[in-house]
Amino acid sequence: MNIVFLDGHTLNPGDLSWEKLEALGNFRVYDRTETTEQLYQRAADAEVLIVNKTPLRAADFDRLTRLRLVCVAATGYDVVDVEAARAHGIPVCNAAGYGSRAVAQMVAALLLEVTSRVGHYAEANRQGFWTHSRDFCCWSNPLTELADKRMCIVGFGNIGQYVADIMRAFGMKLFAVSSKPQEHLPADVQKITLHEAFSTCDVVSLNCPLTASNREMVNAELLAQANPNLILINTARGRLIDEQAVAEALHNQRLGAYCCDVLSKEPPTSDNPILKAPRTFVTPHIAWATVEARERIIDILVSNIRAYAEGNLRNVVNA
**Domain, as residue range, for 61:** 2-98+290-309
- Is pLDDT of 236 > 90? yes
pLDDT digits (tens, 9 = 90+) for 134-189: 999 999 988 999 999 999 999 999 999 999 999 999 999 999 999 999 999 999 99
Q: What is the DSSP letter of 56?
A: B
Residue 266 designated active-site: yes
Mean per-residue pLDDT, 194-222: 96
Same domain? For 49 and 116 the reply is: no
Closest CA to 151 of 188, 85, 205: 205
Residue 278 CB-density burial (10 A; 0-12 exposed, 13-18 middle, 19+ buried): exposed
| DSSP notation for 265-300 | SSSPPTT-HHHHSTTEEE--S-TT--HHHHHHHHHH
Closest CA to 294 of 17, 41, 27: 17
Same domain? For 156 and 136 the reply is: yes
Same domain? For 132 and 230 the reply is: yes
pLDDT at 29: 98
Q: Please report whether residue 270 resides in a domain.
A: yes
Q: Please report whether residue 107 resides in a domain.
A: yes
**Catalytic option among 237, 254, 294, 296:** 237
Which residue type does 186 have? P
Same domain? For 75 and 120 the reply is: no
pLDDT digits (tens, 9 = 90+) for 10-60: 999 999 999 999 999 999 999 999 999 999 999 999 999 999 999 999 999
pLDDT digits (tens, 9 = 90+) for 52-82: 999 999 999 999 999 999 999 998 898 999 9
Q: Please report whether residue 315 resides in a domain.
A: no
Same domain? For 61 and 198 the reply is: no
Same domain? For 251 and 300 the reply is: no
Same domain? For 17 and 166 the reply is: no
pLDDT at 76: 85
**Catalytic option among 117, 150, 285, 294:** 285
Residue 86 designated active-site: no
Mean per-residue pLDDT, 203-218: 95
CATH of the domain at 92: 3.40.50.720
Return the axis-axis angle of helices 100-116 and 158-169, rounded to nearest 10°: 40
pLDDT digits (tens, 9 = 90+) for 96-130: 899 999 999 999 999 999 999 999 999 999 999 99
**Catalytic option among 34, 83, 266, 292:** 266
Is residue 72 within 8 A of residue 95, CB to CB? The reply is: yes
Residue 285 designated active-site: yes
- The total of structural domains in the chain comes to 2
